[in-house]
């Protein structure tokens, strides 16, 4: 197991875009600034997807312009196309994330394009990022199941991950969008991808909809992954299952890693305090069990 894991905090983007509550711009800025002070090294700050699709993050430019960026922290933002890229660059974005799915049905339904067509759409964005010296992270969603087609062939996951890496993504995040995966399948998926893309260029992104996220992360750590996506307070429900949980909580991941003797650089108490603050703003229970246990005053 790696001695050090980098957490990619996706709460301000993947979390907030799936929450019903509209969060004020000032609170989004405060969220990122609070996260920046916890020792996190990657914080996905917002999304430049069209406000038509993600109204929750319509203030992406104001948020990004408002945060206090630290030199030691990466602040990727989600970008769907050249227009989003230009909006992002106009406010000083230095790292972007592009996204597609391993499921043909999911791509058709979400962006009305095949997997291959979705990859072609990124090509100009990636070309410009390369010219501009902008780092690019790639997301592959539905790697362990799809809400529309069910099973997703492993070969499609590998093909999409390899394509994103070959197109210039320094890191490819493998996402179990609907949280149906279990540890054996998660590890087999990661290992299949790692046969074609270096493990050091891979991240895992688990949703906890079926309660399996931490076990899946453990299995992937055992297989050698060293980058894990997570969302503070578990922000972000599951858009495919009303009332079900979505992102795994960053606090729970960090607690497990520290218990395993894996360092993250993150101050768990500061992270949990931020999760508590965010849950209050979202008006629902803290989705982090570590956060709730700390609130309840369990002795550690």
Binding site for a second copy (CB under 8 A): 145-148, 150, 178-185, 208-212, 214-215, 217-219, 238, 240-245, 249, 252, 255-256, 258-261, 288-290, 292-293, 295-300
Nearer to a second copy, 76 or 179 (CB): 179
Q: How far is the CB of 157 from a second copy (least distance, A)?
A: 17
Q: Which long-range contacts (CB under 8 A, 24 or more apart) does 287-296 make?
A: 287/233, 287/234, 287/235, 287/245, 287/247, 287/249, 288/232, 288/233, 288/234, 288/249, 288/250, 288/251, 288/252, 289/249, 289/252, 290/249, 290/251, 290/252, 290/254, 290/255, 291/233, 291/249, 291/251, 294/269
Place of tokens 């609070």: 34
Nearer to a second copy, 91 or 293 (CB): 293
Q: What Cα–Cα distance (Å) separates residue 31 from each residue in 55, 69, 155?
A: 18, 12, 38
Cβ–Cβ under 8 Å, residues 199 and 237 = no
169 a catalytic residue:
no
Q: How far is the CB of 3 from a second copy (least distance, A)?
A: 13
Q: How far is the CB of 41 from a second copy (least distance, A)?
A: 22
Rounded CA gap, 223 and 1, in Å? 7
Query: Of the candidates 207, 270, 212, which has an alpha carbon nearest to the alpha carbon of residue 33?
Result: 270
Nearer to a second copy, 201 or 293 (CB): 293
Nearer to a second copy, 183 or 265 (CB): 183
Return the C-alpha torsion angle 58, 63, 65, 67, nearest 10: -170
Q: How far is the CB of 182 from a second copy (least distance, A)?
A: 3
Nearer to a second copy, 147 or 265 (CB): 147
Q: How far is the CB of 213 from a second copy (least distance, A)?
A: 9
Nearer to a second copy, 174 or 256 (CB): 256
Q: How far is the CB of 212 from a second copy (least distance, A)?
A: 6
Task: Please identify which of the residues 146, 169, 220, 238 carries the catalytic annotation.
Answer: 238
Q: Please identify every residue annotated as catalytic.
A: 238
């Amino acid at each position: 197991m790696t001695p050090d894991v980098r957490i990619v905090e996706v709460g301000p983007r993947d979390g907030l875009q799936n929450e019903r509550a509209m969060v004020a711009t000032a609170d989004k800025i405060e969220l990122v600034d609070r996260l920046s002070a916890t020792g996190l090294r990657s914080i996905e700050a917002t999304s430049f997807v069209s406000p038509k699709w993600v109204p929750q993050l319509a203030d992406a430019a104001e948020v990004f312009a408002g945060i206090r960026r630290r030199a030691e922290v990466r602040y990727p933002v989600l970008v769907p196309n050249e227009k989003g890229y230009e909006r992002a660059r106009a406010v000083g974005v230095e790292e972007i994330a592009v996204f597609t799915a391993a499921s043909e049905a999911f791509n058709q339904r979400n962006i009305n394009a095949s997997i291959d067509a979705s990859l072609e759409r990124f090509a100009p964005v990636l070309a410009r990022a390369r010219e501009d010296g902008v780092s690019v992270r790639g997301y592959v969603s539905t790697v362990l199941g799809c809400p529309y087609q069910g099973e997703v062939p492993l070969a499609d996951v590998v093909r999409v991950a390899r394509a994103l890496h070959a197109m210039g993504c320094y890191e490819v995040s493998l996402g179990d969008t609907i949280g149906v995966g279990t540890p054996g399948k998660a590890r087999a998926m990661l290992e299949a991808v790692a046969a074609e893309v270096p493990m050091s260029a891979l991240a895992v992104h688990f949703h906890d909809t079926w309660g399996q996220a931490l076990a899946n992360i453990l299995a992937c750590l055992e297989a050698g992954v060293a980058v894990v996506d997570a969302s503070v307070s578990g922000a972000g429900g599951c858009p495919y299952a009303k009332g079900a949980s979505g992102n795994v909580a960053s606090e729970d991941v960090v607690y497990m890693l520290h218990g395993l003797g894996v360092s993250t650089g993150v101050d768990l108490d500061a992270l949990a305090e931020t999760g508590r603050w965010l849950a209050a703003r979202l008006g629902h229970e803290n989705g982090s069990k570590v956060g709730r246990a700390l609130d309840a005053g369990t002795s550690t």
